Each structure stands twice: as structure tokens, then as C-alpha cells.
Structure 1
């Protein structure tokens, strides 16, 4: 009987939560510092930087459209947030800059259809959500000379209460009536090596991750010399605009509905 229950749980998921949402982070501006929120609902954006006055960006004004904006392989138009934002970033970054918003009225940026067909994202690197666990961070920090905060990995959802790297196997999870699909282990670029407070970079955590979280160390099918930390997600409910709005809230239980059999079977 116990064996049968175990098999059913692996197929349909357990009724017991596998983890709890510990933190939620949003990133109003690509590559800028994340903001911790109690739930994933944002209605306005405030931008701050050391020795700079606060820049407030209203999200309901009419903006000029500019072309030739690109993120990786995608290019298209975007909405110009205006001269004040341009001058603010130009002053702080000490190079000509402008701030743009994704033009949802006329542009579509699809996620890689090899991993999730029909889903969209905006200016994020490839997928709309990134999940990581505190257990995974703790396991990594035990190997590092200087522990790193979760902000290095720019996750949207940080969960706690599960074993290190359990999230590798989460094929389908449910959080507060929202269904998320784990569609791709997150291969890490240089960003985790950059201190989010001062912009300086180093060799860690990539150097340590290469020892036990590379495609070779995980026995993944594709061998491209990459390291992995976290799971990229899409949300099933985002395909439908009908119904009441739902949110992920700190403290929500995470229910695993389906799992990959091993990290080697997880898509990368």
C-alpha cells in the first residue's frame, strides 16, 4: 500500500507542501537591483541609486515609441520613458543611456518554444520566472569562502523547507491556485559573480559551481560547459486573461504536482 501511494504521489503530486515561499523579488528594470515584496503585485516603480535623487516612473502615461531595441536574439520597438529618466541614468552610469518599457501593445517576445510553447516574456533574459531554494543557496555557501546572498542569483521566488536542489526536479508546482511549469534548469551567466551592491565582479560562485553544478557534474545530456542554479518557470494561468487576479504571497505553501525522474532528465 505504501509503495502504491509513493507511485501515485510521484505522478500526481503530494498533498503535503514540499516547501514554502520565503521571499519574492521583482525586477522593474532589467539588470538593476531587485526589490523584495510580500506578494507579486506591483502598481508603480521607484528607482534609487547612491547619491542620486529618487526617480519616479509613472506607468500610465503616453510614451514615444522607439525602434531597434534588442535582448539577445529578439529586437523590436519599446516605449521611451522620457528625458528625465534618460538624464538620470546617463548621469549615474556616466554613458549615454535611456530607459524603455516593453511595448506590449505591438510587440510579442515568446519564450523558447523548445521548452514552452505559447508563453511570453518581456525584457527578462529568456523566461518570465526564476525559482531557487534556500537549501540550494545554503549548500553552495558551505563550499564558498565568503557566503553569498540570494540577490546574486536574481530569483523571483525563493522557497525554503526543501532539500538542496530539489527544485531541479519540479516539473509542475502549484502556489496559491497558480500552476507553474519548470521548463528549464537555469544556466548561469556572469551576473552571479557581480556584487549587486557595488557592481564589482569576481570568480565566485561560478568557479565553485563548476565543480558540482556543471552539465558534466550533473550528467546532463547536453555538454556545453555551463553551470546551473535554479529553475526557469512559466505560469499556466498567464495564458488566460480571464478570471480574478491571483498572486504569489510570502508564506504560501508550494505543492509539487509532477517531478522529473532525475536532474539528467530535466531540460536544459
Structure 2
């Protein structure tokens, strides 16, 4: 088995970036979900309720996040705040934000220009915030942490699992769906369908990961990531054979991961080895 896809999503619920190589840090893949859009109350905004996020594309260089939108000029936002005392730079304002049930997360406001841009793109008052030194969001009970992801640092899906789903969709007379509907970080080739469900731990290249359980899917999977069109599939078909045996309201596809290795480089083609 090997890695056939590497993806990060710099701004939660905006378009992602396909990579050939990337690195791990304490929060998962470097650059993944380090920015978040929040409403006036600091509550996170996602595609579940705001399809206006879909046209926003993301790009990263060594110092900046760049956002583009069909109807707006490009926006460049520093990855980190400048705190150089010699230039009298004002420290960024801290905003208390909420991601799912986690409240009081301290994120950095990206400033008036970024907030105006995001508000215009969404058609409502909103803010762009980023992770800074004051941010801490623990996950699990072993000292691990995550960023603005739904709950865990990474998500893995095998190509065989998607092929299994698409075969079922075609049998029902529906169109197959691409992998981007599921927004994985790691895509694995060479396994059986849903083999990822059975791996308590795995090695990818020189890095090790442990399973954090299945990923319960939502309406984002039914949303075309280019057009924003929303249909019942593939969630309707997944519900016929991927319901969680312990929580029937959940429909699972893919496995959440926690990176035990906090510093490493990953590449397309890296060998994947299940571990006990």
C-alpha cells in the first residue's frame, strides 16, 4: 500500500490544496485548517450552512495565505502575526471562537481588511481568524492537539473504499463522486475496501499514526465542490451499508487519525504499513 493523495485545507470549509510532499507538526499536516471563518459570535462557519464558501480557493507560500474568489480581488493574509517591538506592531486581537462543542478557543483576528473581504464573499458579517501561540485545543487523553478540524488532526480514506461506493452508486443509476467530497488528508492505494477501518495504528513513510475512530459524514459529502450543487447522494447510498453499529444516526466513511509523530515529511508514494 502507498499514499496516492495528500491534501490540506488551509481555511476550514474552503477549497483544499493537493500536494506532492508535506510535513507534520503538533497539530497534524502543516498548514491544514489553521484558518477559520466565524460569525459575529465567534461560532465557526462551514459549508454545511454556507455554500458561499465553496468558490473561495486557497494557496500557501512560506509567509502568506492567499484567498481568491471569482468576484473579488485576491487577499493575502500573513500566516503569523508580526510582533516586532521595534516597528510598534500592535499584537493581534484575540477572539474567543467555538468549533462544535469546544468553546473559548483563543484565535487571532486576521484584521479589518481580511474581515471585510470574508464578509463580502459570504454576504454577511464574518471574521477570518488563525491559530496563534494562545491557541490550544487538546484531543484525546495523551497530550495530542488539533487545529480547526472537526475533531481530529487527520482523515484517511482508501481508494478502494471510494471505488466500492461508486460501484454502488452506478448500480443505482447515479453518478460516481470524486474523492474531494470527503475532504481527506491522506488517500491510500493498494488496500481492500474499508481496510482503513481495521487499522489501530499505521506507519506512513517514517511517521506513525493511530486511529481515532470512524468519521461520521454530513451534508458536505452531497455538495459538488466546484459548483455548490447539492443532491441526496452519496449520503443516501452510504446510509444503506455504512451506518455506525453503535450509533445508528451516524453514517461512517473514512477514519480519523492522530499523528503520534509530531515532526516528519510525507510524500506521495510513501509506503503505508498497518501496525498493531
Larger radius of gyration: 1
**Which TM-score band applies after superposition, normalised by the shorter structure?**
0.7 to 0.9
TM-score normalised by L of structure 1? 0.79
CA contact (8 A) 1:112 1:126 kept: no
Instruction: Give 1:156-171 correspondences, 5 Å limit.
Output: 156-171=185-200
Instruction: Mark the runs of 5 or more structure 1 residues left unpaired by the alignment.
Output: 1-18, 239-244, 259-268
Is 1:229 the equivalent of 2:260?
A: no
Give 1:141 deviation, angstroms. Answer: 0.9
Report the equivalent of 1:152.
181
Question: What displacement does 1:223 show?
Answer: 2.8
Could you report, residue by residue, the CA deviation over 1:31-52 in whole angstroms, capped at 9, with x for unpaired residues?
1111111112453422222233
The answer to whether residue 238 in structure 2 is matched with residue 256 in structure 1 is no
Aligned to 1:27: 9
Aligned 8 A contact 1:174 1:255 in 2: yes
> Matches of 1:27 and 1:96 in 2, distance apart?
22
In the TM superposition, 1:48-67 aligns within 5 A as: 48-62=68-82, 64-67=92-95
* Partners of 1:185 and 1:228 within 8 A in 2: yes
Matched with 1:82 is 111
- 1:187 partnered with 2:219: no
User: What RMSD in Å do the two structures reach over aligned CA positions?
Assistant: 1.5
Distance 1:67 1:51 in 2: 28
Q: Distance in 2 between matches of 1:257 and 1:181?
A: 9
Spell out, residue by residue over 1:105-126, the C-alpha distance to the aligned partner (whole angstroms, 9 max, x if none).
Answer: 223211244xxx3211011100
Alpha-carbon distance in structure 2 between the residues aligned to 1:223 and 1:92:
37
Q: Quick one: distance in 2 between partners of 1:200 and 1:250? A: 30
Per the alignment, in what secondary structure is the counterpart of residue 73 of structure 2?
coil
Residue from 73, 78, 81 that aligns with 2:101? 73
What does 1:201-220 align with in structure 2 at a 5 Å threshold? Answer: 201-215=230-244, 220=245
Q: Deviations over 1:44-95 (max 9, x none)?
A: 4222222332222211333522333110111222101112211211111111
Match of 1:9 in 2: none
On the 8 A contact 2:3/2:268 being kept in 1, the answer is yes
TM-score normalised per structure 2 = 0.77
Please name the residue that 1:8 is paired with.
none
Structure 1's consecutive aligned runs of 4 or more residues displaced over 3 angstroms after TM superposition are 41-44
Deviates more, 1:60-69 or 1:77-86: 60-69
**Residue number in structure 1 paired with 2:124:** 95
Residue 122, structure 1, aligned to residue 147, structure 2 = yes
CA distance in 1, matches of 2:265, 2:74: 28
Structure holding more strand per residue: 2
